[in-house]
């Protein structure tokens, strides 16, 4: 008898349970939480032959053959360590999907920042070329959902976080892209070196490795580790030397190995960092030997990514921009650099570890005022005081931040009100998406 236990009643956990059930496994799905919505899910899944345990913490037992964990479950948590010590096979949902889809070519995209935009853009380009190439992982589908579909994809375009990679020991993409590396998730991974090693493990298993040559950490640490890697740069071919250049911007064009592919301004997204995301996506498409015209069409029609410098509305000449996905200092710094100076910034939430120096410097240089929300508000206020920046207010909630932003922006001559929190969302919202949707809703109710 094949008995599997899946931890986590989110999208990836449910997809993993269904995939195992279809493959003939007896499946138990558990979650530490309980709510009316989860009870409803429990009842629906029981009709599919999947047992669901709510308000339950996993304990290893001798009957279980396979344990599948969702990305939010710490890989080194005591129950998982005990399970491995007992000889139980423990894998992540992404590894399970790989076992069913490893005959398909994968593009695996990892990095601290930039991976969501790169993943979405890569999928859009492949789809413009006529491929069934859905985005999965942290965006789009759960990977196991793709294995459940009647039509197997031509390509799997997967955004892979460090959490997913450490639980997917055999996943080996055809093309591996690494966008950036800055300190993040250190409460889980402890050191930047360990965090980087996890991401490097995925790229080592990739047939072809592609790196952002403009990222300081990647440029300094990876050339010797990946002597056959391909490198990209917005600064032109010479900026990558002596590394192996594959894609770069020259005379306004994205060029792959010297051949013009698409105009750099064809991507309708603000911010210099998105030019680098464009280079990585185009490189993946060229390495997959997609037609140049299809690549250009995919780029030109790409609408952008929700919650990443997403324009919500314009009111009295002021743009309201949703950058809720900026959940760390580096991403929020990019957000500030991407909009006009003198903006009204909304920041705060659940603070993360990391170096906020550059972010604070950009606030001093580019923010007319900062409206602080969430648990981090007092901490951020103290940090700004130390830096000598006093043009902030603690407003606590998103409702007050949007209302106050509309009041102060005209008086300050600000052309932008930017939500770019530099924080996780879990103090007030289940995820950054719901935080961004609340911002959108408030703006649309007030200004449209």
Binding residues for ATP: 111-117
- The three-state secondary structure class of 28 is strand
In the block, which residue shows the tokens 């743009």?
319
Which distant-in-sequence residues (6+ apart) come within 8 Å of 323 by Cβ? 307, 308, 309, 310, 331, 332, 335, 418, 419, 420, 421
Residues 2, 63: contact at Cβ < 8 Å?
Answer: no
Could you give the CA distance from residue 330 to residue 220 in angstroms, rounded to a whole number? 18
| E strand or H helix at 318 | strand 318-322
239-243: long-range contacts (C-beta < 8 A, 24 or more apart)?
239/213, 239/214, 240/213, 243/213, 243/219
Which alpha helices (DSSP H) does 102-172 contain, by range?
115-128, 143-148, 162-166
401, two tokens = 């931040």
- The three-state secondary structure class of 349 is coil
Could you give the CA distance from residue 4 to residue 442 in angstroms, rounded to a whole number? 43
53, two tokens = 């345990």
State the CB neighbour count (10 A cutoff) for residue 205. 17
Angle, in degrees to the nearest 10, between helices 329-338 and 357-366:
20
- The three-state secondary structure class of 138 is coil
19, two tokens = 């995939």
Could you give the CA distance from residue 186 to residue 9 in angstroms, rounded to a whole number? 25
User: Which stretches does DSSP call E strand in 194-252?
Assistant: 208-212, 230-233, 245-250
DSSP state of 242: T
Known binding-site residues equal 111-117
In the block, which residue shows the tokens 């449209």?
448
């Amino acid at each position: 008898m094949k008995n599997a236990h899946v931890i986590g009643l989110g999208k990836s956990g449910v997809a993993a349970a269904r995939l195992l059930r279809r493959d003939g496994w007896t499946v138990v799905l558990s979650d530490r939480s309980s709510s009316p919505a989860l009870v409803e899910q429990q009842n629906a899944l029981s009709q599919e032959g999947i047992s669901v345990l709510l308000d339950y913490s996993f304990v290893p037992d001798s009957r279980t053959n396979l344990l599948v964990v969702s990305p939010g479950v710490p890989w080194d948590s005591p129950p998982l360590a005990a399970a491995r010590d007992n000889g139980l096979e423990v894998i992540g949902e992404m590894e399970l999907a790989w076992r069913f889809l490893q005959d398909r070519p994968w593009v695996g995209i990892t990095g601290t920042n930039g991976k969501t935009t790169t993943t979405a853009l890569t999928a859009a380009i492949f789809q413009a070329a006529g491929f069934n190439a859905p985005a999965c992982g942290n965006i789009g589908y759960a990977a196991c959902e793709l294995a459940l579909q009647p039509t197997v994809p031509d390509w799997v375009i997967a955004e892979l976080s460090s959490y997913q990679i450490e639980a997917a020991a055999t996943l080996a993409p055809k093309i591996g892209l690494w966008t950036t590396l800055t300190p993040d998730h250190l409460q889980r991974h402890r050191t930047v070196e360990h965090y980087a090693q996890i991401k490097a493990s995925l790229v080592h298993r990739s047939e072809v490795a592609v790196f952002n040559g403009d990222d300081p950490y990647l440029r300094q640490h990876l050339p010797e580790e990946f002597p056959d890697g391909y490198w990209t740069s917005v600064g032109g071919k010479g900026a990558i030397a002596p590394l192996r250049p594959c894609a770069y911007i020259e005379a306004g064009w994205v060029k792959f190995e010297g051949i013009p592919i698409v105009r750099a301004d064809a991507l309708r997204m603000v911010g210099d960092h998105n030019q680098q995301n464009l280079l990585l996506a185009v490189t993946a498409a060229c390495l997959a030997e997609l037609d140049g015209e299809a690549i250009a069409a995919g780029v030109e029609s790409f609408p952008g990514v929700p919650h990443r410098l997403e324009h919500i509305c314009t009111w009295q000449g002021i743009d309201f921009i949703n950058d809720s996905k900026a959940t760390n200092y580096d991403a929020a710094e990019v957000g500030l650099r991407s909009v006009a100076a003198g903006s009204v910034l909304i920041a705060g939430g659940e603070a993360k570890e990391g170096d906020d120096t550059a972010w604070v410097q950009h606030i001093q240089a580019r923010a007319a005022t900062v409206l602080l929300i969430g648990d981090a508000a007092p901490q951020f206020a103290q940090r700004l005081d130390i830096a000598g920046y006093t043009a902030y207010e603690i407003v606590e909630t998103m409702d007050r931040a949007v209302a106050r932003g509309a009041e102060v922006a005209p008086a300050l001559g600000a052309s932008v009100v930017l939500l770019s929190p530099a924080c996780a969302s879990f103090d007030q919202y289940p995820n950054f998406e719901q935080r961004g949707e609340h911002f959108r809703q408030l703006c649309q109710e007030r200004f449209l």
